Amino acid sequence: MRALRVAAAVEAGSLAALLLNLFTVHAEAVSSLLGPLHGTAYLVTVVIAWPVRPARFRALVPGVGGLLAARHRPPTPPA
């Protein structure tokens, strides 16, 4: 689940940076770098969360879906 948390953080952070860039200077270089990064993080988040049945559809929400899916972790088996 650590990979899901990292991918979700990258997805949310890159979306925040893209929106900040859009509403301030709108630099094309920033958009061309962060756009594919955000898209890749979104896809990685969905792929990692897909096997976890309750979190599956939460991960499909763009931007915050990874964070929602990471919050819903399956119970760990007792040791």
Q: What is the pLDDT of residue 16?
A: 96
Reported pTM: 0.85
Tens digits of residue pLDDT in 33-64:
999 999 999 999 999 999 988 888 999 998 89
Per-residue pLDDT at 79 exceeds 80: no
Q: What is the pLDDT of residue 71?
A: 87
The answer for residues whose C-beta is within 8 angstroms of residue 20's C-beta and 6 or more apart is none
Q: What is the pLDDT of residue 29?
A: 97
Report the distance separating Cα 24 and Cα 29, nearest Å. Answer: 14
Q: Cβ atoms within 10 A of the Cβ of 76, count?
A: 7
The answer for residues whose C-beta is within 8 angstroms of residue 17's C-beta and 6 or more apart is 30, 34
Tens digits of residue pLDDT in 15-32:
999 999 999 999 999 999
Domain ranges of the chain: 2-71
| 1 or 26: which leads in pLDDT | 26
